[in-house]
Amino acid sequence: MPFRGGRLSVFIRLLQYALPYRARIAVGILCTVATIGIEAIQPLVMREIIDEVLTEYVSGGKYIGHTFAPERVDQDIQLLLTFALALFALYVLRGLLNVLNRFLLQKTGQDILLSLRTEVYNHLQHLSLRFFNSRSTGELMSRVTGDVESLQNTITDTVERIIVNSLTILIYGVVLFALNWKLAIVTLAPLPIYSLLIALYNRKIRPLYTVARERIAEISATLQDNLSGIRVIQCFAHEDHELSRFSERCLEFWKISLRIIKIRASVFPFARLVITIGPLMILLFGGYQIILGMLSIGTLFAFQNFLWRFYGPVESLTRINDTIVRASASAQRIFEILDTKADISDLPNATSMGRIEGRIELKNVRFAYDENVDVLSDVNLTAKPGQLIGLVGPSGAGKTTIINLICRFYDPDAGRVQVDGHDLRDIELRSLRSQIGMVLQDPFLFNGTIRENIAYGKLDATEDDIISAAIQANAHDFVCGFPDAYDSRIGERGVRLSGGEKQRIAIARAILGDPRILILDEATSSVDTETEVQIQKALETLVQGRTTVAIAHRLSTVRKADCLFVIDDGHLIESGTHSELLAMGGLYSRLCDLQFALQDSDLT
């Protein structure tokens, strides 16, 4: 379920990430308290200097120092020097405590941020395909990077400022009441009105910040789509059209931002005006008490000093409040991901499989991506260990869905998918998928070197292992033709390689992984004939001794399969060898006749 907590619940949940560092935070808070205490000494010392030393030298605004004995003057000057040196020493200590405090709290913030970012990424890694199919890559990237980044200042800097300012307000509030409780009540009277204004502001602004983060996610999604499809955009000369789409997204964000600015502009000036009333009351009520002899000049000076130090953090918290509201919206979007349960996960008693034989069985399988439309209906098929089976049928018949079920990217709505007699739901995902290799029509390659992409099949592979796999995949020769050979960088999704070269790198990766079950999804459908021959040779090496499930539109590539299963509209309608299916004269036979007729017409 999506996370729907309020700002307080969001903050409390974030605090849970701070629990492992509570000792460090406690030391940081103690440093903060000590720093505030040192700062509080200065006004109190100045009060004593004014009341006990300086006031005696001033009467009616005229200097009368000549009436005092030189010894008394020297004594007072020595006292002033002592106070000054003591304050200087305290300021040095305060500086050292500040350094320690900032280091401890900011390091803690970075540690919390690292834990949160890692947890979000790890959780995403284990969510099912159904989750990713319903969300754009740009939106998820916005949450993992943008929203976590939005929390960075809050966690590393703002939290420290909240702690410092809150403790400052608490300590100085107590000091103000200790100095003169009547004056404290008068000068702090505007605070409830100020707090009400900020509360109203938060109620209005928080939903807007949530919408603003969603608009940013839409901008990121549009940008990601455009960059990924830049070739198509330029090919159709649709740059202006895409600019218009992107501008629309930016305009929506601008509108939300403008509403936020208007609300801030209408609230903050009045809030600041309210809190300036307090210091002004010192002039009236404090002066009145001095005239009546109820308050000393030194105490008034100290009180005014403390009051400015009190209201300074109050204003600072006002500015911080905006950051907190934005961070709260980001945290809510992050927690929505963390609270999303994976559709596919290990059962508590799931079995860890050793090296499997590779027997695959689908028994009475029914599956639907949407509740109302079955993609597979009552499908039964078996692949014996080491067999090559082919899945044949029109586009949308359900072939890829069968592959998804075998890899347990989804669970069937009814029936069972088994490997070596075990229901896939009873097997640990890692032990199952680590024994499945896959070569797709458009293989995904990482933005790294050829060596890194091949080694992805076996992370601890040696150099000899990598080269051996490349040789078996008929990739070694073209790899060595690059200036940097296996250290050549291939760009995003292998953009610097041809389609056939990418296929052979993917085959080498699969060979290195040594899977017991191999999935081939249209592995040769988008390459030229010469490249197809090279890939077929590599595949012949790859499938040896492995249970192989192959999807192919080019029926010639699966003619040698041990068994072919013909799927149509989610139903298994035919099965047998190539010759057996031709003899039946059914859908497979018609597909063969149509495809070979098209090939003959192309040749003529």
Give the pLDDT band of residue 559 (cuts 50, 70, 90): confident
Please give the model's pTM, rounded to 2 decimal places: 0.70
| Residue 250 forms part of a structural domain | yes
In terms of average pLDDT, the best of 57-71, 264-278, 373-387, 579-593 is 373-387
For residues 498-512, give the mean pLDDT. 84
Please report the pLDDT score of residue 56 as a whole number: 61
Question: Using CA atoms, how far apart are residues 40 and 179, in angstroms rounded to an integer?
Answer: 12
For residue 190, pLDDT over 60 is answered with yes
Residues 30, 110, single domain; the answer is: yes
Please report the pLDDT score of residue 182 as a whole number: 84
Tell which wins on pLDDT, 176 or 3. Answer: 176
For residues 379-398, give the mean pLDDT. 87
* Residue where a domain stops, chosen among 319, 338, 357: 338
Please report the pLDDT score of residue 601 as a whole number: 47
Please report the pLDDT score of residue 94 as a whole number: 84
For residue 284, pLDDT over 80 is answered with no
Tell which wins on pLDDT, 535 or 580. Answer: 580
Give the pLDDT band of residue 121 (cuts 50, 70, 90): confident
Residues 163, 306, single domain; the answer is: yes
Tell which wins on pLDDT, 541 or 124. Answer: 124
Which run of H or E residues covers position 423? strand 422-423
Q: Calculate the alpha carbon distances from 435 to 350, 357, 358 in Å.
A: 16, 10, 9
Question: Using CA atoms, how far apart are residues 268 and 326, in angstroms rounded to an integer?
Answer: 16
Give the pLDDT band of residue 602 (cuts 50, 70, 90): very low
Query: Residue holding tokens 């050793």?
Result: 354
Residues 146, 181, single domain; the answer is: yes
| Residue 140 forms part of a structural domain | yes
Residues 431, 455, single domain; the answer is: no
How many folded domains does the chain comprise?
3
Please report the pLDDT score of residue 237 as a whole number: 73
Neighbours of 497 (CB within 10 A): 23
Residues 291, 387, single domain; the answer is: no
Per-residue pLDDT reduced to its tens digit, 448-468: 888 888 888 888 888 888 888
Question: Using CA atoms, how far apart are residues 188 and 359, in angstroms rounded to an integer?
Answer: 78
For residue 561, pLDDT over 60 is answered with yes
For residues 415-437, give the mean pLDDT. 88
Which structural domain, as residue segments, surrounds residue 464?
A: 442-514
Give the pLDDT band of residue 84 (cuts 50, 70, 90): confident
Q: Which residues pair with 440 in a beta bridge?
A: 521
Answer yes or no: are the C-beta atoms of 128 and 410 closer than 8 Å: yes
For residues 103-115, give the mean pLDDT. 82
C-alpha torsion sign, points 186, 192, 197, 198: positive
Residues 199, 124, single domain; the answer is: yes
| Residue 363 forms part of a structural domain | no
Please report the pLDDT score of residue 60 as a whole number: 45
Joined together, the tokens standing for residue 488 give: 């050549």
| Residue 466 forms part of a structural domain | yes
List b or e across 43-81, with b for residues whose CB sees 16 or more CB atoms inside 10 angstroms. Answer: bbbbbebbbebeeeeeeeeeeeeeeeeeeeeeebeeeee
Lowest-confidence pick of 32-41, 61-70, 311-320, 333-342: 61-70
Residues 450, 587, single domain; the answer is: no
Closest CA to 311 of 286, 282, 352: 282
Residues 523, 387, single domain; the answer is: yes
* Residue where a domain stops, chosen among 338, 358, 382: 338
For residues 376-404, give the mean pLDDT. 88
For residues 12-29, give the mean pLDDT. 82
| CA 302 and chain centroid, separation | 49
For residues 163-189, give the mean pLDDT. 82
Please report the pLDDT score of residue 19 as a whole number: 83
Please report the pLDDT score of residue 341 as a whole number: 86
Please report the pLDDT score of residue 69 as a whole number: 56
| Greatest Cα pair distance in the chain | 131
Residues 237, 384, single domain; the answer is: no
Please report the pLDDT score of residue 244 as a whole number: 86
For residues 43-62, give the mean pLDDT. 63
* Averaged pLDDT of the chain: 80
Residues 213, 263, single domain; the answer is: yes
List the Cα angle 431/433/438 in 5-degree steps.
150
For residues 386-400, give the mean pLDDT. 86
Joined together, the tokens standing for residue 130 give: 């159904």
Residues 561, 478, single domain; the answer is: no
Please report the pLDDT score of residue 102 as a whole number: 81
The CATH number of residue 143's host domain is 1.20.1560.10
| Residue 419 forms part of a structural domain | yes
Q: Which residues pair with 61 in a beta bridge?
A: none
Residues 262, 408, single domain; the answer is: no
Question: Using CA atoms, how far apart are residues 367 and 132, in angstroms rounded to an integer?
Answer: 18
| Angle separating helix axes 191-228 and 297-338, nearest 10 degrees | 40
Let me know how long the chain is.
604
| Residue 537 forms part of a structural domain | no
| Residue 197 forms part of a structural domain | yes
Answer yes or no: are the C-beta atoms of 546 and 386 closer than 8 Å: yes
**Please, where are the H alpha helices in 375-528?**
399-406, 429-433, 450-455, 463-472, 476-480, 499-513
Please report the pLDDT score of residue 525 as a whole number: 55
For residue 23, pLDDT over 50 is answered with yes
Closest CA to 9 of 332, 449, 358, 423: 332
Residues 310/322/160/167 CA torsion (nearest 10 deg)? 30
Q: 3-state SS string over 505-551?
A: HHHHHHHHHCCCEEEEECCCCCCCHHHHHHHHHHHHHHHCCCEEEEE
Per-residue pLDDT reduced to its tens digit, 34-50: 887 887 777 777 777 77
For residue 100, pLDDT over 70 is answered with yes
The CATH number of residue 555's host domain is 3.40.50.300
Please report the pLDDT score of residue 72 as a whole number: 65
Pairing assessment for the beta strands 414-419 and 360-367 based on DSSP bridges: antiparallel
| Residue 526 forms part of a structural domain | yes
Pairing assessment for the beta strands 517-521 and 547-551 based on DSSP bridges: parallel
Please report the pLDDT score of residue 61 as a whole number: 43
Per-residue pLDDT reduced to its tens digit, 248-259: 888 988 988 888
Tell which wins on pLDDT, 271 or 119. Answer: 119
